[in-house]
Amino acid sequence: MSQKFNSRKNIQKPWLNELYTLRKNRTFELGKAAIDELLNQGIKISYRKISEMSKE
């Protein structure tokens, strides 16, 4: 008794790609700004520090 699974991955959603691109660019800019600020303050750069700075 096997049933065929219909995956939703084949459905094209151009608006979703646009949203992902916007979010990806925003995340990149926040990370870049956090790294620049850490460098200006002379603080050692780590993933934790970048995360903390980008949330401010």
1-56 pLDDT, tens digit each: 577 766 666 777 888 889 999 999 999 999 999 999 999 999 999 999 999 988 87
- Residue 31 contacts residue 50 (beta carbons within 8 Å): yes
Nearest to 36 by CA among 9, 13, 54, 12: 54
What is the torsional sign of CA 33, 38, 40, 41? Answer: positive
Tokens 């949203």 sit at which residue?
A: 19
Query: Hey, what amino acid is at 48?
Result: R
> For residue 38, what pLDDT is reported?
95
**What would the two tokens of residue 35 be?**
């790294």
> For residue 4, what pLDDT is reported?
75
> For residue 42, what pLDDT is reported?
95
Q: Report the predicted TM-score, pTM, of the whole model to 2 decimal places.
A: 0.68
